Structure 1
Amino acid sequence: MQAMLFAAGLGTRLKDETADKPKALVEVGGKPLLQHAIEKLSAEGATRIVVNVHHFAPQVIDFIHSKSWSIPVLISDESDKLLETGGGLKFASHLFAPGEPILIYNVDILSNINLHDVLAQHTQSNAIASLVVRQRETQRYFKFDAEHNLVGWINKKTGETKISRPENFREATEMAFSGIHIVEPQIFDFMPDEDRFSIVQVYLELAKTKNIRGYFDTSELWMDVGKPAQLEEARELFR
């Protein structure tokens, strides 16, 4: 298994925390979020990690080069243009080994999810992509049928819906995305020509004809620390 860490975001929700450094280098428990993520991924079997950078990119690059990691940690430099999730993955495609699944992990996620279990389910399902989701309150939800196939997406605040499989959409289970997913390298064959786009749009389009599965996560710890309140909660937990 190889991995990609999405670490290029502007971190604007963290305000003062990211005024002079990127979100990836914000500390929890005495370690930058980037280090937490790299150590988790390498401990759970990643053979290489690609980190995309944009906001304060030199700081992230210097930090990565300052450490002796147990596996290769490569840089995908988006300094010139922030490419969003789909574009960022596409831009980094040349850094991945062919034929191996790619685990994608947001740098502002703290979790004790067992990634071996996620990979095992993904492999068994023969899915082109597997999305880790949880039951939690949010504004935007993926929707899955009884077999955990992705059938659509809904924004509860605006009412916007995107339907991949209309026959199962109404009764489908609403689950919140956890910022963790696994894709097969063949997904690059189905990406749009433009350089900047969301991976969510790719999943919803592919779900009309391909196998996109949900991994329903019930692990004890999952936190998105991209907002001040959640960051302080994480710091209390890791203190």
Structure 2
Amino acid sequence: MRNRPDAVMLFAAGFGTRMRGLTRCRPKPLLEVAGRSLLDHALDVVDAAGVTRKVVNTHYLAEQIEAHLADREDIAISREVSKILETGGGLRNALPLLGPDPVFTLNTDYAWTGRNPLIQLAETWDPARMDGLVLTVAPHAARGHFGRGDFQHDEGGPIRRGPANIYTGAQILKTDDLWDIKDDSFSLNQLWDRMLARGRLFGISHDGMWCDVGRPEGIELAETMLAEVANG
């Protein structure tokens, strides 16, 4: 592994509007799949990958997430108090906690089977060639996703935007460009655009199944997917 990152940003600040009534009184990362919160499923991935510096951002119903993590002394909280900063602004806001080196980022509303996604990324990461490395999944290995896909790439090669593979919410990023973006709240798409223009955003495919738990029906889909693996 080449200069493996040792910090991870877990995104947990969103409103969860696609979950409709399920998130009226509970933040989406605390919704349960197979008896465990989505946030805990994501932390299982992080812990199994051996990443030591962990940061979780909060905004919507932040007190519930912070209470849920109160016993985890190894997790720092990046608070977005006055407004939600989206993925790009949220990552920049957390940089004092994450440090200046490349970081993993992981969304907290997905379920996984197969190899650990962060370990997969770390094994391919090459900072001499890459400013970013995203993990995608082929449509046949995805559940609960609506859309035509996000990126096209050869395995381990530079990527381009276009309908094909689906972004899984896991990646490694260099963060220097974040300081050049003038907006307070912005998507990581703006960071990707800069990397794409330089030919330094790369992609690899997830070795396993993946489920988007962004809508209510995604909970049952994820539980079925996990049960299929558990039952062989």
Fold equivalence (TM over 0.5):
yes
* 1:134–1:208 CA distance, 2 compared to 1 (3 A): same
Any conservation in 2 of the 1:28–1:238 contact (CA below 8 Å)?
no
d(CA) in 1 for partners of 2:104, 2:36 = 22
Q: How many residues align?
A: 214
In 2 relative to 1, CA 43–195 (structure 1 residues): closer, same or farther, beyond 3 Å?
A: same
Q: Structure 1 segments of 4 or more deviating over 6 A? A: none
SS in 1 for 2:89: helix
How far is 1:207 from its partner?
1.2
| Aligned counterpart, 1:222 | 210
Q: Secondary structure at the match of 1:123?
A: coil
User: Within 5 Å, which residues of 2 pair with 1:1-239?
Assistant: 1-65=6-70, 67-68=71-72, 72-99=74-101, 101-112=102-113, 113-114=115-116, 115-123=118-126, 126-136=129-139, 138-144=147-153, 148-153=157-162, 174-189=164-179, 191-217=180-206, 219-238=207-226
Secondary structure class of the residue paired with 1:49: strand
Taking a change above 3 Å as real, the CA distance of residues 205 and 32 of structure 1, as seen in their structure-2 partners, is: same
Report SS of the residue matched to 1:139: coil
CA deviation profile, 1:5-43 (whole Å, cap 9, x unmatched): 011111111112111110011011221111111122012
TM-score of the two chains, using structure 1 as the length reference: 0.81
After superposition, the C-alpha distances for 1:99-125 in whole angstroms (9 at most, x for unaligned) are 3x2110100011134222211201376
- 8 Å Cα contact 2:10/2:108 also seen in 1: yes
How far does residue 145 in structure 1 lie from its aligned partner after superposition? 5.8
Structure 1 gaps, min length 5? 155-173
Unpaired segments ≥5 residues, structure 2:
1-5, 140-145, 228-232
Percentage identity across aligned positions? 30
- Taking structure 2 as the reference length, the TM-score comes to 0.84
| Cα RMSD, aligned residues only | 2.1
Return the alpha-carbon distance in structure 1 between the equivalents of residues 72 and 55 of structure 2.
Answer: 15
